[in-house]
Amino acid sequence: MNKNYFITGTDTDVGKTFVSELLLKQLNESERVVGYKPIAAGADMTPSGLRNDDALILQNACREPAPYDQINPICFEQEIAPHIAAKINKAPISVGQLNQWWDTVKNNSELSLIEGAGGWRLPLNDTEHLSDFVQQQNMQVIVVVGMKLGCLNHALLTIEAIKSDGLHITGWVANQLATPMAHYQENLDYLTDVLEVPVLAEIKSNHRYVEGSALFSL
Ligand SMILES: Nc1ncnc2c1ncn2[C@@H]1O[C@H](COP(=O)(O)OP(=O)(O)OP(=O)(O)O)[C@@H](O)[C@H]1O
Ligand SMILES: [Mg+2]
- Sequence-separated (6 or more) residues with CB below 8 Å from residue 93: 39, 74, 82, 83, 86, 124, 125
- What pLDDT score was predicted for residue 180? 93
Which residues constitute the domain of residue 60? Answer: 3-217
Instruction: Assess whether the C-beta atom of 200 lies below 6 angstroms from ligand 1.
Output: no
Q: Mean pLDDT over residues 197-203, rounded?
A: 92
CA of 177 to the centre of ligand 1 (A): 7
β-bridge mates for residue 210, sequence order: none
Instruction: Work out how many domains the chain is built from and give that number.
Output: 1
- DSSP states of 171-205: EEEEE--SSPPTTHHHHHHHHHHHS-S-EEEEE-T
In this prediction, residue 5 has a pLDDT band, given cuts at 50, 70 and 90, of very high
Residue 76: what are its φ and ψ, rounded to 5°? -115, 145
pLDDT single digits (tens) 82-111: 999 999 999 999 999 999 999 999 999 989
Instruction: Assess whether the C-beta atom of 176 lies below 6 angstroms from ligand 1.
Output: yes
What is the percent of the chain where pLDDT is above 70? Answer: 95
Q: For residue 14, what is the domain's CATH number?
A: 3.40.50.300
Options 37, 87, 90, 204, the catalytic residue? 37
Instruction: Assess whether the C-beta atom of 112 lies below 6 angstroms from ligand 1.
Output: no
pLDDT single digits (tens) 111-170: 999 999 999 999 999 999 999 999 999 999 999 999 999 999 999 999 999 999 999 999
Q: Which amino acid is at 132?
A: D
Ligand 1, atom 25, lies closest to the CA of 12
Q: Per-residue pLDDT for 211 more than 90? A: no
107 vs 207 pLDDT, higher one = 107
Cβ neighbour number for residue 29 with a 10 Å cutoff: 9
What is the percent of the chain where pLDDT is above 90? Answer: 86
Instruction: Assess whether the C-beta atom of 9 lies below 6 angstroms from ligand 1.
Output: yes
CA of 111 to the centre of ligand 2 (A): 19
148 in catalytic set:
no
